[in-house]
Structure 1
Amino acid sequence: MAKIRILFLCTGNSCRSQMAEGWARNLLPSGYEAFSAGIEAHGLNPSAVRVMQEAGVDISRQQSQTLNDLGQEDFDFIITVCDHAHKTCPTPRQGQIILKCFDDPPRLTESVDTEEESLAIYRRVRDEIRVWVNQLPSLIQQISD
């Protein structure tokens, strides 16, 4: 049986989509294959890497990439994790598109005063993504039925 291929898509493929890919690789059953990409490749966000490491998930070896970097790969589900990517990113590939917006930690942390306040925002979004990824097989089953 073929694996269910999931692409997490966002603007810069540096934070939210990277965390989602990391969670999917660590939480979903072996019948799933997870990838991430962005409209642009901004590189891995160090704070995202740090808070994922705190949760026991190493995303430091993942690559920030664009859709073009994926070549002609096909996906069963393309999950846009931000509204900007949902509205502006071309998704020429086959696959069911799902919009699930998560707050953007880099944007939210622009106005905080301390590193601990900043990390608290990253941790909150990390945990929200984890909860949602855990529910993803049920959502996919509902869509597929």
Structure 2
Amino acid sequence: MHPCRVLFICTGNSARSILSEATLNHLGKGRFEAFSAGSQPTGRVNPYAIEELKALGIATEGLSSKSWDRFTGAGAPPLDIVITVCDNAANETCPVLFGDFVKSHWGLPDPAAAQGAGAAIAAFRRAHTLILYRITALLKLPVETMGRDELKQALDHIGSITDEEADA
């Protein structure tokens, strides 16, 4: 069986989805293969995302802000799970991707919206802490043997985990 392929999507593909992709690839080696994309990619990875990943020893080589188009056409890797990470609470429009995969939403405030270096560093650390918590929960799931409905329910539950719960 191939690794479980997960695509993290947001609008700009410069921060949250990049953090998620790199973290799942780092922690889920062999079992998971993660990708990220955006509906309106910024064209560059946020430097604070790179700093946050490097601080935890997570590889950043090959990370790029890219369009979701590369996951919809011929030759695109087959996906098992697609997770949106935009922030509905901030009225961000989450991209919608159609296909034969399990979809879930793991909303996160956009750390790139923080103003000033100190606030940005803190915002990226907070966002990544929640991402780490959620990915750790994903890694505990027996995704290889779960049915689609059961997997969807488990992923949605993981996506409902808040900052406070992750910090506890």
Please tell me the TM-score bracket, short chain as reference.
Answer: 0.7 to 0.9
| 1:129 alignment partner, one of 125, 128, 131 | 131
1:62 and 2:63 matched: yes
Distance, in Å, in 1 between the alignment partners of 2:37 and 2:142 is 20
Query: Counterpart of 1:37 in structure 2: which amino acid?
Result: A
Q: Decide whether the 8 Å contact of 1:9 with 1:80 is kept in 2.
A: yes
Q: CA deviation at 1:128?
A: 1.1
Distance, in Å, in 1 between the alignment partners of 2:21 and 2:132 is 10
Q: CA deviation at 1:121?
A: 1.3
The Cα RMSD (Å) is: 2.3
Change in Cα spacing, 1:118 to 1:24, as seen in structure 2 (3 Å) is: same
Unaligned runs of 5+ in 1: none
1:1-145 mapped onto 2 (5 Å cutoff): 1-42=1-42, 43-72=44-73, 73=76, 74-83=78-87, 88-107=94-113, 109-110=114-115, 112=116, 115-139=117-141, 141=143, 143-144=150-151
The percent identity for this pair of structures is 27
The alignment's TM-score, normalised by the length of structure 1, stands at 0.85
- Say which SS state the counterpart of residue 37 (structure 1) adopts: strand
Change in Cα spacing, 1:55 to 1:88, as seen in structure 2 (3 Å) is: closer
- Say which SS state the counterpart of residue 134 (structure 1) adopts: helix
Paired residues, number: 141
Distance, in Å, in 1 between the alignment partners of 2:23 and 2:58 is 7
131-140 or 38-47: which moved more?
131-140
Distance, in Å, in 1 between the alignment partners of 2:99 and 2:22 is 22
Q: CA deviation at 1:69?
A: 2.5
* Runs of 4 or more above 6 Å deviation: none
The alignment's TM-score, normalised by the length of structure 2, stands at 0.74
Q: Decide whether the 8 Å contact of 2:86 with 2:106 is kept in 1.
A: yes
Which structure's relative contact order is higher, taking Cα pairs within 8 Å and 6+ residues apart? 1
Query: Counterpart of 2:134 in structure 1: which amino acid?
Result: W
Q: Decide whether the 8 Å contact of 1:44 with 1:60 is kept in 2.
A: no
Q: Decide whether the 8 Å contact of 1:18 with 1:59 is kept in 2.
A: no
- Say which SS state the counterpart of residue 133 (structure 1) adopts: helix
More helix by share: 1
